[in-house]
Structure 1
Amino acid sequence: MMPGGRLRARLMALIEGAGFNRSQAAYAIGCTPSRLGDYLAERTIPSAMVLLDLENAAQQAANRQWMRAADVIDAAAEHAESDPMWAMRMLLQGRDQSLGLSTPTRRAIWATGTPTSRLTGPWKTLAYTMLRETARDGRPIPRWLAAPTPLPEPWTPLPVREGRPLDVGLAKLGIEINERELVTA
C-alpha cells in the first residue's frame, strides 16, 4: 500500500483529470463503482493496468476531437432560435459522433462536463431525447440529461414532407420530424 494516502490521491487526480465522477470512472476502467470505492479507500490495491487505464483516460479527455453531450447542447443552444437547420446539424453530428465511440473510456468521457448554455422547450425535449437514445448501449448518462417530457403541443423543427413517415419515438413526445431527416449517412 502507498503510504499516507498517495494511492488515493493519485487515483483521484487521474479521475479528476479525465473529468469523471466515480461511476463514469468505474465504467471507463471496467469495474464496479464499489470496486473503485475499495481502491479509493485503499482496502484493495488496483493493478497497474487500472492506473494505466486512468492515465490513458485523462490523456484522451484532454486531447479529444469529438463532442461530449455537454458540447452538443452548447452547440445546439447557440443556434436553436436563429438557425434551426444549423442547430439540428449540431445535434445530429453530436449524436453520430457519440455512436462512433468504440471504447468504454470514450463513452465515459462523452458523459463528462455540464453545458454552459441552456436549451428550453421543444429544443430541450428534442436534444435530450436524441442524446439519451445514443446512451442505450449502457454508457453512463450525464446527471443533467433528464428524461424528456412530452410537449403540450406538437412542434416541427424542420419542414415536414407529406407522404414520408414521421419518427415514431419523437412523435410520441410531440415532435414531428420525418425519419429521413434524422439520417446523416
Structure 2
Amino acid sequence: MAPTAPLDRPYPAQNQDTDTRTLIDGLNQALRDSGLTQSDFATALGTSASRLSTYRNGKTTPAATFYLRARRIGHCLREAYSLGWMSSIRTADAIAEALDDDDNTWALKMVLQGRDHLHALLSERDDLAGAWEAAPPSTGATQWDVLLATLAGHEFEAAGLRAPAWTQCAPLASPWVIESARTDAETVREQTPAWLSQLGVFIRAHDLATQGAG
C-alpha cells in the first residue's frame, strides 16, 4: 500500500523544486497557525477553498503578496488567540450562535465585545491587526454582518489604520433599528452616529458604549 500523504500536504510533492516546496510548507504552516479549516482560512484570505488548495498542492503559484498575507494572518490569529483576544472570525461565529438561539441581546453583546477586543488589540498590539483583517464568515444575517463590519472598520480608522476590505459594506436595503429599552424607534434614529445611520443601521450611541471602548 502506498504511504498516505501528510494531512497538511494533500498531494504528493513529487517533482517539486525547493522553492515550491518551501512555499507549500509556508502555506500549510499559516493554515495550522490560523486554527481554521482550509475553507474558512480561504474565506479569511478573500479567496476560494479550491484556489487555496491549488496553492497548497503546488499546481498554482500565488502572488507574493498573497503568500505574505497568508503567513501574517495565520500568525496574527494564533497570537491573538493565545492572548485571549477575539478575532473577526470568532466574533462572527459567536454572533451566529446567538442568532441560532434567537437571542438578539446576546448577539449584540458579542458584536460589542468583539469590537472592544479589537480596540484593545489595536491600542496595545497593532502588529496583530491581521487577526481582524481576516474576512469573517457570514453571521447568517445581513444586518449583523453590516454592523460587525462597520464597527470594525470604524475602529481601524480611529486608530489611523486602513480598514480591511471586508469592512466596506453597501447600505442595507431596509433600515434596521435596534430598539433600546424605554426608547422609541424615532429617538434611536436621532441618537445613532452618522457613520452607522448612513448604512441603514440605527442604534443609540449610548448603547454602543461599553467598558473599554473608545
Length-normalised TM-score, structure 2 = 0.56
Q: Name the residue aligned to 2:120.
A: 100
Structure-2 change in CA distance of 1:146 and 1:67 (3 Å):
same
- Give the match's secondary structure for 1:96: helix
- Point out 4+ residue stretches in structure 1 off by more than 6 angstroms: none
Q: Aligned equivalents of 2:81 and 2:109: distance in 1?
A: 25
Q: Aligned equivalents of 2:129 and 2:191: distance in 1?
A: 31
Runs of 5+ consecutive residues of structure 2 not aligned to the other structure? 1-17, 35-40, 46-62
Pick 1 or 2: higher relative contact order, CA cutoff 8 A, min separation 6: 1
Runs of 5+ consecutive residues of structure 1 not aligned to the other structure? 25-35, 41-52
Length-normalised TM-score, structure 1 = 0.63
Look up the equivalent residue of 2:210 and give its one-letter code: T
**1:15–1:58 Cα contact (<8 Å) kept:** no
Q: Aligned equivalents of 1:130 and 1:148: distance in 2?
A: 11
- Give the match's secondary structure for 1:119: coil
Q: Name the residue aligned to 1:111.
A: 133
Q: Name the residue aligned to 2:108.
A: 88
Q: Name the residue aligned to 1:174.
A: 200
Structure-2 change in CA distance of 1:139 and 1:13 (3 Å):
farther
Q: Aligned equivalents of 2:174 and 2:33: distance in 1?
A: 41
Q: Aligned equivalents of 2:77 and 2:104: distance in 1?
A: 34
Residues 47-90 of structure 1: per-residue CA shift (max 9 Å, x gap): xxxxxx99x85862562412110111111122237111111110
Identity %: 24
Count of equivalent residues = 155
Q: Name the residue aligned to 1:138.
A: 161
Look up the equivalent residue of 2:133 and give its one-letter code: A
Look up the equivalent residue of 1:178 and give its one-letter code: R
1:92 Cα offset (Å): 0.5
Look up the equivalent residue of 1:97 and give its one-letter code: H
Is 1:76 aligned to residue 76 of structure 2? no
Structure-2 change in CA distance of 1:99 and 1:139 (3 Å):
farther
Q: Aligned equivalents of 1:123 and 1:80: distance in 2?
A: 9
Q: Aligned equivalents of 2:112 and 2:81: distance in 1?
A: 23
